[in-house]
Amino acid sequence: MTDTILEARDIHKSYGRGPARFEALTGVSLRVEAGESVAIVGKSGSGKSTLMHLLALLDSPDQGAVAIEGKVAGELSVRQVDRLRNTMFGFVFQQFFLIPSASVLDNVILPLKIARVAPRERHERGMAVLRQLELDDKAANKAVNLSGGQKQRVVIARALINEPRVIFADEPTGNLDTATGRLVEDILFRLNREQGITLVIVTHDTDLAARCDRQVIIRDGTLVAAPEGPLPPVVDPAAAHAGPAVTHA
Amino acid sequence: MRLVDLLRTAISNSLRSKLRTSLTVIAIFVGAFTLTMTSAIGTGITSYIGNQVASFGASDVLTVTRTADDQLASRDGPAPYDPDAPTLGGGGFGGGGGGGFAPTPLSDADLGTIAATPGILTVDPIVPIMPSYIQHAGGERFELSVNATAALGRVDLAAGSQLSTDGTRNEIVLPTSYLDALGFENAEAAVGQGVIIGITDYLGVMHEVEAVIVGVQNESLFGSTAALGRQLTDELVAIADTGRPESLRQGYFAATATFDPDAGAEEVTAIKAHLADQGFTAQTVADQIGILQTVIDGVILIFNGFAVIALLAASFGIVNTLLMSVQERTREIGLMKAMGMSGRTVFALFSVEAAFIGFLGSAIGALVAIMIGTLISGILADTVLSGLEGLQVMQFAPASVATIILIVMAIAFFAGTLPARRASRQDPIDALRYE
């Protein structure tokens, strides 16, 4: 009943050369079904961000292959890969990466600009997605003047505007206080539930990981446990101690 | 990205760091300003010289002289005497023949040879006319110098009309400097008025000839000489030759030859080559004035060189400015690439930004140059250069101003390619990690 939307087949990735060579991933295989929410959990430096980058076609593996809906990314042209990212994926990063001097609306419609969508349609879709995130009254504000929570909502709006099949979120709540972080999580999971958008979330926040359908635990470049299909939340003991602690009130 | 979006984004990016952009723009401004000024001076002087060329003779006219004997200078001792060589009479042009550079005069036989050259339609000897004075309405008498070749050309007129080619009356075109002296209010008042020209014959007897002023000529680079119509020229020559013994028939220092006005550059070159083979030097008016033009062109070239150096320096400013922008916007570039912007588009964004900075600098530079240049040119024309009528030192031709702007934009664009390349090659992940 489900289709595999993302697939990693025995991927290896290393950075640097000689003595500074660092094996980020050593043979990782993973399938993500359309509509599920997957948490990639692990210590910092475990390779979880690298895995996400490879799945999101931001980078290519040294060995192995990444396939999007069965198409092997390595066989696509650069242009096709750019287009795939533009039309299928949305990105939410820990750093907001908003253009501070541009308006909220302009920030949100950037993917549509890249996709050569006409100005009128850009405006309409931009306002629609801002309404959805209750930010339409801030459309003309400069991004720099928003609060952290508002900024992350703008980032989600930007990730949503191209009606993506997958949203990649790298520590989406890392820069937010708990309450705001919780709100942002709610938005993401609602999108997953209501619009069937696949979520791939990189986090070391165990609570956030627990809300996902499935956790993929990565340690020293390999998957520790990658249960196939949706499972009840499992908390990896290692992840509980990982990284800067996220405190909960 | 659509072209409009690309341009708009690039322009708004360049305006993001206003101070940095404006400093770069100033550097380009200096270069563009200088280039516009020098090109305007070039245009102004060239167009003035063009008028002078027109006033000096028609474009289908060759001035033919006997080619100076090259061996003369290197020969030890004097040249052997040739009893058949024609001599220059009438004075003034031969300069005594002692200089070694005086041209050997042309004989009537030479004129026949020139006329027989293929492509030559007519040949007329240039006869020096030395009138004694000019007088208007019984007033004071003034010396009159005459442009011997003017009958063939057109002059740069302040009033009246050109000399007619087949006129039956005695026509004269006077330079403006004669107006006051002869008692005319202005150029218009002089047109149609009669003057009396005094000339002595070979025996020293003074004759008076009446002539009508048909036009008034602007002062030219070549001094204040009057131009005489053909009818008047013939009459004055006839008087001057009255009483000259046949044995003292003079040679001519030069002749004018006309050719087909539709002849192309190659045909003219062929005619010149043919004449050169027979020992004659033939020059069009453009050739003669070309030497002056070459000197002016050289000076303008030097100025342009300075302007280009300024632009080169400015282009490094552009490189610097954009490298800083790339550095500053690393994360933004990474984000745009992550969202599917192609490296080519990123490259285009930064190079268009560079070209826009170039456009700002050059457009402002050209505009200011046009304003200041027009002002200076006007002031100069009224004061220092008032003696050279019709000279606007600086003329701003829209085509050359547009060319300068485009060239500067091209330079800026190429300067921008280095930072743009760096930006386009940025790895989105590295860019997004960058703190």
ipTM of the complex: 0.82
Best probe of the B interface among A48, A85, A94, A167, by most B CBs < 10 A, is A85
Q: Report CB contact under 8 Å: A78, B332.
A: no
- pLDDT at residue number B94: 38
Hey, where are the domains in chain B?
3-53+292-433, 68-127+252-278, 128-246
Tell me which of B89 and A30 has the higher pLDDT: A30
> Cα(A164)–Cα(A131) distance, rounded to whole angstroms?
18
The mean of the pLDDT values for chain B is: 80
Q: Which residues in B lie closer than 8 A to residue A82 (C-beta atoms)?
A: 337, 340-342
Question: What does the pLDDT look like over B1-54, one tens digit per residue?
Answer: 788 888 888 888 888 888 888 988 998 898 889 889 888 888 888 787 777 666
B3 touching A (Cβ < 8 Å): no
Residue predicted with more confidence, B151 or B113: B113
Kindly tell me if the per-residue pLDDT of A4 is higher than 80: yes
Give the whole-angstrom CA distance, residue B329 versus residue A228: 41
Percentage of chain A surpassing pLDDT 90?
Answer: 20
Whether B337 and A59 have beta carbons less than 8 Å apart is answered as no
Of A59, A79, A85, the CB nearest to B339: A85
- DSSP one-letter string for chain A: ---EEEEEEEEEEEES-GGG-EEEEEEEEEEEETT-EEEEE--TTSSHHHHHHHHTTSS--SEEEEEETTEEGGGS-HHHHHHHHHHHEEEE-SS----TTSBHHHHHTHHHHHTT--HHHHHHHHHHHHHHTT-GGGTTSBGGGS-HHHHHHHHHHHHHTT--SEEEEESTTTTS-HHHHHHHHHHHHHHHHHH--EEEEEE--HHHHHHSSEEEEEETTEEEE--SS-------HHHHH-SS-----
Q: How confident is the model at residue B362 (pLDDT cuts 50, 70, 90)?
A: very high
Burial string for A212-223 (b: 16+ CB within 10 Å, else e) reads bbbbbbbbebeb
Structure tokens at A193: 């539930």
Q: Distances from the Cα of A229 to the Cαs of A107, A232, B100, B339, in angstroms?
A: 36, 10, 110, 29
CATH of span A36-53+79-241: 3.40.50.300
A182 Cα to chain B: minimum distance (Å): 24
**Is B338 touching A (CB cutoff 8 A)?**
yes
Neighboring chain A residues of B340 at a CB cutoff of 8 Å:
82-87, 111, 114-115
Q: How far apart (Å, rounded) are the C-alpha atoms in residues A160 and A90?
A: 6
Instruction: Write down the pLDDT at residue B55.
Output: 60
Give Rg (Cα) of chain A. 18
Instruction: Please count the residue pairs, one from chain A and one from chain B, whose beta carbons lie less than 8 angstroms apart.
Output: 54
Across the interface, whether the CB atoms of B339 and A58 are under 8 A apart is answered no
- pLDDT score, position A108: 92
CA distances (Å), B238 to each of B86, B108, B150, in order?
20, 17, 18
So what's the pLDDT on residue B98? 40
Q: What is the pLDDT of residues A26-63, one digit of tens each?
A: 888 899 999 999 999 888 778 888 888 899 988 888 98
Number of H helices and E strands in chain B, helices first, is 13, 11
Percent above pLDDT 70 for chain B: 83
Residue A231 is predicted with a pLDDT of 47
pLDDT above 60 for A244: no
**Per the CB < 8 Å rule, is A59 touching B341?**
no
Per-residue pLDDT at A125: 92
With an 8 Å Cβ cutoff, the interface of chain A facing chain B consists of 53, 56, 58-59, 78-79, 82-87, 91, 93, 95, 97, 99, 101, 110-111, 113-116
pLDDT in tens, B53-72: 666 555 677 888 887 655 44
Q: What is the pLDDT of residue B402?
A: 92
Backbone angles phi, psi at B339, to 5 degrees: -85, 10
Does the structure show a pLDDT above 70 at A225? no
Mean of the per-residue pLDDT values for chain A? 84
Lowest mean pLDDT among A206-220, B263-277, B376-390: B376-390
pLDDT (tens digit, 9 = 90+) per residue, B219-257?
766 566 788 887 888 888 888 888 877 666 667 778 888
**Cβ distance of B342 and A97 shorter than 8 Å:** no
